[in-house]
Amino acid sequence: MSREDAEMMDIKVADYMTKNVFTLKPGNTVKDAIELIKLSGHDSFPVVDDNGKVVGYVSAIDIIDKSPDTKISDIMSKELYVAREFMSLRDAARIMFRTGHSKLPVVDEENRLVGIISNADVIRSQIERVDPSKVEKLVLTIEKVHGVKAEVRKGTVEISKLIPTQSKVYADELRGRIHELKRGLAEPIVIIKKGDKLFLVDGHHRVVAASKLGIKELEAYIIVVPEEIELGMEKLAKRKNLTSIKDIEIIEDIPHPLVEITFRNMR
C-alpha cells in the first residue's frame, strides 16, 4: 500500500461528513419536498421518523410528475445504502461509485441520522485537507532550522487568542468557508504554540469565517516549540503589526489567485 493510500484509509467519514442535514418526514408531502429544495439548494434528502431514525431517502427524480399532496412515504426509497462515522472515506467513496449514489446518509448503531457524506466531500478531502504529512514537514523544518524538538498535539483553540501570520484573506474564498462551516464542516487549522502565544500558520480563511459566524473555537494541530526560539513567522507578524484576527484585511475586489487563474484560462 502506498503512503497516499494509507493516508486516505486514515481519513474517516466523520472527518468530512456534513452534520447539519436537511431531512423530510414520512408524513411530509411532495409540496414540502419542493419547498425544501428551494430552501436548501439540495436535490435529495434522508427521510427520518420522530426518533431520528432513517427510514428512507427521496430525491428530486422521485417527485417529478407527482401530485403536491403525495406523501413522502409513498414515493421514498426504502432500501438504501448508508455509511458509518468510523468507516474510511475511501470505502464510502467506493460504495458511492459502485452504486451510482452521490450521497450516503451516515447513521449510528441504532440507525439514527448523524450526518451525510457526498462525493463532493470526497473530492474536498483531497483538495483541502490538512495533510498530516504537511504538519510533519513543518515540524521537521522547525527542528532543523532551530535545532530544537517540537511536539504535535491535536486539540481545540480559542480563535480570539490567535496571532495571524497572514495579513489578507479573499472575500470569495471566505464566502466558501462560511458556507462550509454552516454545513458543519471544519478542517483543523494549524498553529504554533510558543509559551502563551498561538501563531496561526494555516487556516486564516477558516478562522475569519468562524469569527463572522460567532464560532469561538476550532479544532487544530498544535505544534509546541520552546519559548526561547524566534520564528520567522513571528518576525513577520511583528513587522506587519498583526496581533489578532481583527488585523486581517478582507480583499473584496480581487478574486482568490486560483479563481483568477481558472477564469483567465477559460477566456
DSSP-based three-state secondary structure for 178: helix
The model's pLDDT over 75-102, given as tens digits with 9 standing for 90+, comes to 999 988 999 999 999 899 999 888 888 8
Residue located via cell numbers 487556516: 203
Q: How far is CA 234 from CA 66, 168, 196, 229, 231, in A?
A: 62, 16, 13, 10, 5
C-alpha cell at 236: 513577520
C-alpha cell at 233: 513567522
Adjacent-strand bridge partners of 169: 250
Establish how many alpha carbons lie within 13 A of residue 190's alpha carbon, considering only the half-sphere containing its beta carbon.
18
Give 16's pLDDT tier (boundaries 50, 70, 90). confident
State the pLDDT at residue 252. Answer: 84
Give 37's pLDDT tier (boundaries 50, 70, 90). very high
State the pLDDT at residue 266. Answer: 40
Adjacent-strand bridge partners of 116: 18, 105
Quote the pTM value. 0.58
The model's pLDDT over 209-261, given as tens digits with 9 standing for 90+, comes to 999 999 999 999 999 999 999 888 899 899 999 999 999 999 887 665 544 44
> What is the mean pLDDT of the segment spanning 24-51?
95
> What is the mean pLDDT of the segment spanning 93-117?
92
In the chain, the domains with their CATH numbers are 3-125 (3.10.580.10), 130-266 (3.90.1530.10)
Taking the C-alpha atoms of residue 5 and residue 15, their distance in angstroms, rounded to an integer, is: 17
The least confident of 9-13, 57-61, 170-174, 239-243 is 9-13
Taking the C-alpha atoms of residue 244 and residue 205, their distance in angstroms, rounded to an integer, is: 14
Residue located via cell numbers 479563481: 259
Residue 127 has pLDDT above 60, yes or no: no
Residues 6 or more apart from 202 whose CB is under 8 A from it?
130, 134, 189, 190
